[in-house]
Amino acid sequence: MRISELAQRAGVTVHALRHYERLGLLSPARTASGYRDYPESMRREVVFIAMSRRIGFSLQAIGELLPAYRAGRLSIDTMTDALNGRAAALDRQITELQVLRRQVIEHASWLRKQDARPRTTKPWPSPTPRKEKQ
């Protein structure tokens, strides 16, 4: 099948398929006229790649799993371990984002308090005027 048909059937863009090919994740055959020719079996691989990307796996990590997936040797234990690792990474990101959110809110509160204080000077330093060269 041609690239546009595979893209439509797998729910990805033609651009994504070309990108996966550039990275070595896909290797379509070529017709005599140079068009990419994807076998039906590659649709399953593209769906695997797309679903893995959607839940945040890097293309490198997908590339490491893909040979076993193609060969039918990707075990449930291996996938479960990979998914648990991804969940742990998400937990770390969530914790980091919560800390960052608290810092942003604290900073906004500090600024609000500064705004409420009587001002003897401007709240932000004004730039020093530049001397012109003569």
Q: What's the pTM value of the predicted model, to 2 decimals? A: 0.74
- What pLDDT is attached to residue 117? 74
Q: Give the range among 32-36, 82-86, 105-109, 116-120 with minimum mean pLDDT.
A: 116-120
Task: Dihedral sign for Cα 24, 69, 65, 42, please.
Answer: positive
- The architecture CATH gives domain 1-74: Orthogonal Bundle (1.10)
pLDDT confidence bin for 127, thresholds 50/70/90: confident
Per-domain residue ranges for the chain? 1-74, 75-117
Residues 68/78, Cβ–Cβ less than 8 Å: yes
Q: Which one-letter amino acid corresponds to residue 127?
A: P
DSSP state of 10: H
Digit-coded pLDDT (tens) for 85-102: 999 999 999 999 999 999
